[in-house]
Amino acid sequence: MPVEFCCKDKGMETNIKDKKVLAAIGAAVDAFLQQEEAAQAEVSYSPQPASLWAQFGRQELMNQRIYCQLRMIRY
């Protein structure tokens, strides 16, 4: 998606040299954004398989918290 600059909104008149500079800046920004998108597409995240011991430990911590909350409600 090309970046467009408009100086007439601010009441400034642009000459040919300014238009060329703005076009070059816009092209550079477009190229940078395209490179960023390509880099994001190349990065692949592969999570490590979860350890069963770690999963069991987290589940036990959650169970203890739930039991503690239930005990507080009961009294």
The token duo for 20 is 């060329």
Q: Which residue has the tokens 């642009």?
A: 14
Tokens for 38? 């390509």
Q: How far apart are CA 28 and CA 23, in angstroms?
A: 9
pLDDT one-digit tens code per residue, 3-62? 555 555 555 555 677 888 888 999 999 999 999 888 877 766 667 777 899 999 999 999
Q: What is the pLDDT of residue 56?
A: 94
Domain ranges for the chain: 8-42
pLDDT value at residue 12: 56
